[in-house]
Structure 1
Amino acid sequence: MILLAGGTSEAIEIALALDRAKSPYIITVATGYGYDETAGKVSGHVLKGPFDKQSFEKLIKEYEVDAVVDASHVYAGELRCELSAAAHAAGVRLVRFERDPVSVDSNPDITFFGSPAELGVWARDKDFKKIFVSTGIKGLQALAGHIDLDRVYARMLPSGESITAALSAGLKPSHIIAMEGPFSRDLNEALFRHLRIDLLVTKDSGETGGFTAKIEAAGNTGCLVAVLKRPEPAGGEVFHDTKSLLRTLGIADEESGWHVVLLGHGSRLESANRGLKLVAKEMERRGQYLGVTPAFLQHAEPSLDKVFQELAESGAGRIVIMPLFLFEGVHITSDIPEEIETIQARYPHMQVVQSRFIGPDPLLAGICIHRIKDTIQ
């Protein structure tokens, strides 16, 4: 039995992999919002906290846990220490997922702080007119004693718990931005410009948490950035991708046995090809497959033929080609199937399949609505 400490998108990825592998687990979350988000997506038993060392020890004993997976938020320092202490006391293995930090140390517009109090003292006497706080409700509460909240706007999860806590801390209702992220650079930039923000207060929540998008938006709008440093890591073996973490636990995820080739049309403009490469990079980071490689039909590199040559040389056995095409056309009906047939004949030892293209999926309507909102708000 595995005890999985949740609270992040990666925790849900790990839980879904455990579901597919039919490996028993329980997953803990700290809030009612986290419970609702998690319980509707995974099959494992979801338990709502808060939890401390004693309650974690009780769970380990009651469920006969033999491995603890810490996939909680990197800034949940107290929880991680309590979980680490409980695992150590029970004598069970602890493995920890850690998002890679984003390197921005050389940026002169970014200042790092060891605690909200240190940051608050620094910002208190500065001439900041509008401050945007995106550290979550706990970060806002810690800053409230140091910063004049009349000049603070705070973004937080759209939960009753968070909004009530923000109001109790003294934040104006009109200064509460209740949204679920992560958020794009364009949306952040629009918010910063509209509110005339001159200081962004944030955490290094990694690429997945939208940290880069916030930093880029701040740079484009000319506001300074104050970053809370990550707490000192708790115990446990550290992994930076879910795939490696699952492997060390001996979890055989059938879906992860495939290598994905994300296939785009290709353009002579490199900037036009960058989007597909970014999607491939994000899929690779999530660790759900053996690997994710971008490829292009024409006008750009790497070509499909070159990618398969490299995969064959690396010993890849099962390949799924995902055409990143919106709608059906000659490439989907003829060109891609013909290329796959040629590739399969050249590499008969490899299993090559083609997934469906994107198509008129209802999710696209939601994306379109979000893009329109970004434009007209």
Structure 2
Amino acid sequence: MHVLILGGTTEARRLAQALRDAHPEWRVTTSLAGRVARPLLPAGEVRTGGFGGADGLARALRELQVDALIDATHPFAGTISFHAARAAATAHVPLLALRRPGWVPAPGDDWHGVASLEAAAERLPALGRRAFLTVGRLGLPAFAGVDDVFFLVRSVDAPDPPLPPRSEILLARGPFTVEGERALLREHRIDVLVTKDAGGEATAAKLVAAREAGIPILVVRRPAAPEGVAGVGSVGEVVEWVRGVGG
């Protein structure tokens, strides 16, 4: 049994370990996009880099003799999920998506939902002047033209230009604590939080800190996912599904 995980997320690492623990005889390979300089490596085999689109992934599924494909990529990875759907259909390999549940507003939250990073950049100046920007380094160019807002930018790796003209870079990797997020908001006098609806627990503490501070939260909604692809929200459900594929 060969399981290929399209990974790069906390859930993908947990899944690789769970599959190895449940069935040590299975071959488990995790594919990483290679966008993080020093990724946390999962259990099992690891490959890094793209496949060359949907057709390249379909070829890889055949050549690697993959029996089950798991899309455990970030909710905002976008393109790879559509490539996975096409490739799985072409190569006749069962596909399941592991999707962490999205965040939902809690009582006391001042949420402002937008459809894109560009829309967030346009909306931001009306909500605050000192922003905590947590959208990932690849999303920063959308804010490069916002010159009347200070940005505290948090990223795992150092971002490349273009960057917002008034910005301070904070290199850090989650999970983060509510206490630590409170301190950041106070120290940098943050009056608005900008984030993508990544979901999960690793970076959710900033939402609690923002709620407690009474500051608005500008949330970029998730992009559309491929139609017709079954999805689950937990590692355990994926392990059971793979067992079913293996008979």
* TM-score of the two chains, using structure 2 as the length reference: 0.88
Task: Name the structure 2 match of 1:227.
Answer: 219
Residue 88 of structure 1 is matched in structure 2 by 89
**Counterpart secondary structure, 1:139:** helix
Aligned letter for 2:34? T
Output the aligned Cα RMSD. Answer: 2.4
Task: Determine if contact 2:109/2:217 at 8 Å carries over to the other structure.
Answer: no
* Per-residue CA distance 1:4-33 (angstroms, 9 max, x = gap): 101111111111122221211321111253
Q: Which residue of 2 aligns with 1:280?
A: none
| 1:127–1:12 CA distance, 2 compared to 1 (3 A) | closer
Q: Aligned-pair distance for 1:237?
A: 1.4
CA-to-aligned-CA distance 1:95-134 (integer Å, 9 cap, x gap): 011112232176561111111111111124x262211111
C-alpha distance in 2 between matches for 1:34 and 1:10: 19
- How far is 1:210 from its partner? 2.3
* Counterpart code for 1:199: V
* Alignment partner of 1:183 is 2:176: yes
C-alpha separation in 1, matches of 2:148 and 2:181: 20
Distance, in Å, in 1 between the alignment partners of 2:117 and 2:106 is: 19
What secondary structure, in the 3-state scheme, does the structure 2 residue paired with 1:101 have? coil
1:209/1:81 CA distance change after superposition, 3 Å: farther
Cα 1:138/1:94, change in 2 over 3 Å: same
In the alignment, is the contact (CA less than 8 A) between 1:3 and 1:67 conserved in 2? yes
Letter of the 1:104 counterpart: P
Q: Structure 1: how far apart are the matches of 2:206 and 2:71?
A: 26
In the alignment, what sits opposite 2:192?
A: 199
Kept in 2: contact 1:133–1:153 (CA 8 A): yes
Structure 2: distance between partners of 1:190 and 1:208: 19
In the other structure, the counterpart of 1:98 is 99
C-alpha separation between the residues in 2 aligned to 1:227 and 1:189? 19
- 1:113 touches 1:226 (CA, 8 Å); kept in 2? yes
Given that 2:181 and 2:206 are in contact with CA atoms closer than 8 Å, whether structure 1 keeps it comes out as yes
Do structure 1's residue 245 and structure 2's residue 238 form an aligned pair?
A: yes
Q: Check whether the contact 1:7–1:34 (CA below 8 A) recurs between aligned residues.
A: no
Q: Check 1:32–1:112 CA distance in 2 against 1; reply closer, same or farther (3 A cut).
A: closer
The 5-angstrom pairing of residues 77-226 of structure 1 reads 77-104=78-105, 109-124=110-125, 126=126, 128-145=128-145, 147-148=146-147, 151-157=150-156, 159=157, 163-165=158-160, 168-171=161-164, 175-211=168-204, 213-226=205-218
Q: In structure 2, what residue type is equivalent to 1:152?
A: F
Which residue does 1:12 correspond to in 2?
Answer: 13
Q: Which amino acid aligns with 1:175?
A: E
Checking the alignment, whether the CA contact within 8 Å between 2:29 and 2:44 is kept in structure 1 is no
Are the structure 2 counterparts of residues 42 and 32 from structure 1 closer, same or farther at C-alpha, using a change threshold of 3 Å? farther
> Do residues 37 (structure 1) and 40 (structure 2) align?
yes
Q: 1:230 to 1:139 in 2, by over 3 A?
A: same
Question: In structure 1, what is the Cα distance between the partners aligned to 2:179 and 2:37?
Answer: 26
Structure 1 counterpart SS, 2:243: coil
User: What residue identity is the alignment partner of 2:62?
Assistant: K
Identity score, percent = 27
Which structure has more helix as a fraction of its residues? 1
Counterpart residue identity of residue 17, structure 1: A
- State the alpha-carbon separation in 2 of the partners of residues 127 and 143 from structure 1: 14
Give the match for residue 28 of structure 1.
Answer: 31
The answer to which structure, 1 or 2, has the higher relative contact order (CA under 8 A, 6+ apart) is 2
Give unmatched runs, 5+ long, in structure 2.
none
Moved over 4 A (4+): 105-108, 171-174
Taking the aligned partners of 1:10 and 1:92, their CA distance within structure 2 comes to 21
| Residues 214-255 of structure 1 deviation map (CA, whole Å, 9 limit, x = unaligned) | 11101222321100111112242111111011101107xxxx
One-letter amino acid matched to 2:132: F
Whether the 8 Å CA contact 1:77–1:231 is kept in 2: the answer is yes
Deviations, residues 268-287 of structure 1 (Å, cap 9, x unaligned)? xxxxxxxxxxxxxxxxxxxx
Give unpaired runs (5+ residues) of structure 1.
252-377
User: In the aligned structure 1, how far is the partner of 2:79 from the partner of 2:108?
Assistant: 29
Q: 1:229 to 1:107 in 2, by over 3 A?
A: farther
